[in-house]
Amino acid sequence: MLGPAAQFANDAILVIGLDGRLMEANERFLTLYGYRPEELCDLSLADLRSEAARMNLDADPRRIDELEAITFETEHRRKDGSVFPVEVSTRVHEMNGVRYKISIVRDITAGKAAINHIARLNRLFQAVTAAHQALLRSTTNDEVFGRICAVATDFGLKMAWVGLADGDVVRPAKWSGDGSDYLDGLVIRLDPADPRSWGPTGTAIRLGKHVICNDFQNDPQTAPWHERGRCYGWGASAAFPLFRGGLPCGALTIYSAHMGYFDVDEVCLLDDLAANISFLLDQIEVRRKKDELEARLQKSLDSLVDANIELERFSEIYSHHLQEPVRNVVSFTQLLERELSGKLDAATKDILATIIEAAMKIRQLNLDLLEFSRLRHSPTALGSADCAAALQYACEELQASLKQAKAEIRIKPLPEVLGNDQELRQVFINLLSNAIKFAAPDRPPVIEVEARAEDGGWHFTIRDNGIGIDEPYLEKVFVVFSRLHVQAEYPGTGTGLAITRRIIDRHGGRIWMDSRLGVGTTVHFWLHRAGEHAAASTERA
């Protein structure tokens, strides 16, 4: 009934009579089950079933008769009595009026083993995940050890314990699971000359690496504890070293009822867990020191904030009170110049001019300082601000400077943002002024202004072709009174970009720049869309 092709199939193929007797089988059947060809005639389907699977022997033919074809899993038995899982596909055929069944039997031992391994690995992965979550909740060494042991046994391991090195002896710190009284009177040494140091736990601590015993009852490493382990049905054990400050300080030792439990995948997961436990032990100590340091730092920070507030108040008061003396210096110097007109020589006129110029610089510096301080303390009303109008205002204010520098300004459509009209005008005035002031000497300034939607707001860029800035100074230029050039080359007080940043910060935005020396600079700033995060009457301090 079976053609020649069936002899080369990878699965066993059987022809079975309706009475359950084997009529024919291919070569794969003989190899898989261990029978000789002449023994086939004496075999029945019952001979192939394991004891556990025989209870379904009568039900399966009825299902085949009803369905005419069926596929199911069961257990078969070889000639030597060994049992293995199979998948059976059976169909009823009829030839010359004779009905019979053809069964294709596939050995699924490897597939079942893979499924079981994946299930076991998944369970262990869940245990390790739960252990990591437990670590996150732990703040002391005892909590760490207790929770790790509890998680290990909750997910099917027989027992788990943590032992810590105490001189030459390993002392249990925390434990969980069946057989915890195994630890009563347990002696584990770290001295290599003592046989009680050769076990998994002592070796793991001494050598600083994991030790696996997949046959606990027969492994020479566990010889001193075979009798104890036999009482609790341990088939395998593993010890993973724990470290503190980079040195082994103890070990996590776990036990399974199954021989061969700890394969490569399990060991990798548990190695990671032990490493995380060691990391947390260090972190607990670091956290204690960190808390102390943070308390001291907070105290210093509070003092620094108080000092900074006092300094800003002092600067504001100082700048305010200095205005009158500076005005007097300018006024009386100019008066003196007029009163002595025609009586002064050139050198004296230069001295008076220098006095007036210096006083005017002091006056401007004070005004900038007052503005910078005002932006720190005063609130600002935010509403829908038209950036196109603000830029137009800035261009009109700087019309003379733009014309003198022969600057070309290219403007793309600008949006409305959440902002303050007056302060945004100041932003554009400051940034355009810088682009004009720091123009390259060999080419007229070209300034490009544009904005694009980004991250729920607007990203503005103001790009020029000026002298540029070295990368190390890109952040320094935003510091108040910071200057990269001498006063004679590029006059100013060094407050423009500091004021600009403070305005952008008050608007809940951010500002930065990139630049190439000799090529030009691009200033970026980001602001919220109009109507977002605040109503028109919102105030920011």
Euclidean distance between CA atoms 295 and 498, whole angstroms = 31
Q: How far is CA 156 from the centre of its chain?
A: 31
Amino acid 541: pLDDT = 44
**pLDDT, tens only, 368-384:** 565 656 556 556 678 89
Domain with CATH 3.30.450.40 in the chain: 111-372
- Which pLDDT score, from 0 to 100, does residue 540 have? 47
Of 285, 240, 266, 29, give the one whose Cα is nearest residue 148.
240
pLDDT score at 416:
94
Using a 10 angstrom Cβ sphere, with 0-12 exposed, 13-18 middle and 19 or more buried, the burial of residue 440 is middle
Q: Cβ(215)–Cβ(179) under 8 Å?
A: no
Name the CATH superfamily for 111-372: GAF domain (3.30.450.40)
Q: For residues 86 and 33, what is the distance between their CA atoms, to the nearest angstrom?
A: 12
DSSP 159: E
Query: Beta strand pairing status for 408-411 and 446-454?
Result: parallel
pLDDT value at residue 2: 76
Q: What Å distances lie between residue 202 and 11, 198, 241, 255, 475, CA to CA?
A: 50, 6, 9, 15, 56
Among the listed residues 351, 356, 317, 312, the one whose alpha carbon sits nearest the alpha carbon of residue 334: 356
Task: Convert 455-469 to b/e letters by CB count within 10 Å (16 or more is b).
Answer: eebbbbbbbbbbbbb
Cα–Cα distance, 69 to 63 (Å, whole number)? 8
> Which residues of the chain fall below pLDDT 50?
486, 534-541
**Could you report how far apart the first and last alpha carbons of the chain are, in Å?**
95
CB atoms within 10 A of CB 264: 8
Helix axes 264-339, 346-377, angle to 10 degrees: 140
Q: Which two tokens stand for residue 360?
A: 């005017």
**Cα–Cα distance measured from residue 130 to residue 303, given in angstroms and rounded to the nearest whole number:** 44
Separation CA 210–CA 272 (nearest Å): 11
Helices marked H in 101-251? 109-137, 141-154, 200-207, 226-232
Class of the CATH domain delimited by 4-107: alpha beta
Buried b (16+ CB within 10 A) or exposed e, 123-157: ebeebbebbbebbeebeebebbbbbbbbbbbebbb
- Cβ atoms of 421 and 389 within 8 Å: the answer is yes
pLDDT at 252: 95
* Cβ burial, residue 321 (10 Å; 0-12/13-18/19+): exposed
To the nearest 10 degrees (0 to 180), the angle between helices 496-506 and 346-377 is: 10
Quickly tell me which residue has 């002298």 as its tokens: 467
Nearest to 468 by CA among 417, 393, 519: 519
| Intervals of CATH 3.30.450.20 along the chain | 4-107
Owner of token pair 């004891």:
51
Tell me the C-alpha to C-alpha distance, in Å, between residue 18 and each of 58, 62, 245: 12, 11, 74
Alpha-carbon distance values, 252 to 49, 211, 280, 401 (Å): 44, 11, 14, 76
CATH 3.30.565.10 maps onto the chain at 379-540
What single-letter amino acid sits at 531? Answer: G
Alpha-carbon dihedral 225, 231, 237, 240, rounded to 10 degrees: -70
Residue pair 401/436 in contact (Cβ under 8 Å)? The answer is yes
Q: What is the pTM of this model?
A: 0.43
Q: Which residues of 322-351 are buried (b: 16+ CB within 10 A; e: fewer)?
A: beeebeebbeebeeebeeeeeeeeeeeeee
What's the one-letter identity of residue 402? L
Q: Which fold has domain 379-540?
A: Heat Shock Protein 90 (3.30.565)
CA distance 299 to 305: 10
